[in-house]
Structure 1
């Protein structure tokens, strides 16, 4: 168990008002969690301190070689007053898998969960209660050695910051438009595509800008070898309902194993829907669209939960899905998952953890 040192802020910020719309990732709470690592000493000096800038040497290795991990999960305020986390053990597991892949020391799972709970408890008043809002939790680790040379760092900082948020996409639950990228690639098997690290996201920016310029919310990536197998969207995993079946790309080493993705698969199976995790050729999606068997498309992720897709563009083909509206299972999955997260739907799967 961590021995956490506390330093409360003496200048608390003004809490956002219920009527003030929350733009995702722009407001931060009063406190943050910090813990340090040093070879020979391990993880130490756990503390919750006022939210503040961090001081790093200009030669800190994170700036030059990109050794950093980050995660994302949320806290919710239930109607009965409880504060709930949604499947935090899955985020912690994925964080440590990323740590292993990029040579960052693993963080003991019980310490990781304790740190999340304690910093959320400290700033519990910041959890918004308006429908569609939550407290976003961002744990991350950065390499801090002041050294220019390609090797794992000997020192690290583990931090957790909190941000009250509204909808990730401006559209909210309204269907988004997705651009299918056919020029650039995000990741390849054997690389770091399955890790939650910043390099995967900076690789997507060029395509993201291009898509936004064309009026699209996100980019859907194809595989980096054949340039034809569907992988994931920039900020979420992707699902298709084709002729009554739920189909999603199989995890192959270059796709992030989403926590919400896993939740969607488990719920669909529990409802008796056939679910297939397999390779999906983009031409199969086009053919299903032309035949009228492409019944729904939706993304899943912590930030948006479920995001219906109303339009796909691949090369010169524009595919309008469900007449641009919200599909039956997109809505049902959103209502069920958010209902569990908020304590409105009975959690028969043991997915919520009380703070």
Structure 2
């Protein structure tokens, strides 16, 4: 059993580490260009990066805040990554996050006097199902009408956000109705703090478990194998007897559920009530996290922590080094540009090799015909 567990852990780690070379190079280049941009402003890049690291990792509170910022990015990164492995593009994690947060708040408010070991899991499951149903709707529209999931997930983002806005201005508004927010959830539905003196909550542990579940599902189950085959070649999967329509529905539900868990963490772990626009764009940043991590479990975790460091340390950088916090987003953009450029280059090389192989085969065929003719 011990040997088997060790082999599992080794494969789990190795699968992610193999894809880290390009992201590491991309990060280094992005930091260099970020330093150049800071220098052009007449400021010290060294002082800026020192302040950023101090704010993100220089204290227990900073580390806790970094992991708090990384938690929703892990969920939304997994959401995009899971859909991508199934051959789908889920741009709807932001809306799924909002609906997940709404459903968890409804359960957190409606049930009172319940013990935490019942109430909290119910609120978490409600958030997962809420986000999952929104993802499932996009999957159903695809298999039923052939609607592009890219378009439907983007459109449903707005539906979810405006629905949350309606709820906190109407049915869920906290009496006497002066502010567009819900009443606070019961204490039994709040995610406990796991690091004293910080805001780091149980949602981070749930995110780590979600990473393990992501790996186990995709690489250690027959359904996950089928999902990956369908994602790579749906026609071949169909000839092999795999049900692509069923897999599409399943993947979009699970991906939506992961997006919903991002909203659960923000509401039950940080805000403890529902607001309008409570997400600063975690659903969209999750796409960048997944791309940077090459949709691998370890890659997504490390990319989320990197973005968490940038987000948590940006304010300290602005205060201590007078560098605008917007430089953080410039660095993020450079990272994604370099990763995307490498992917395009790799794809071009594959097509070029395939063309050369086809040309060589055609030349051999012509030569054979000439000799026989």
Q: Shorter chain as normaliser: what TM range? A: under 0.3
Structure with more relative contact order (C-alpha pairs < 8 Å, separation 6 or more): 2
For the pair shown, which has the larger CA radius of gyration, 1 or 2? 2
Question: Taking structure 2 as the reference length, what is the TM-score of the superposition?
Answer: 0.22
More strand by share: 1
More helix by share: 2
Question: Taking structure 1 as the reference length, what is the TM-score of the superposition?
Answer: 0.22
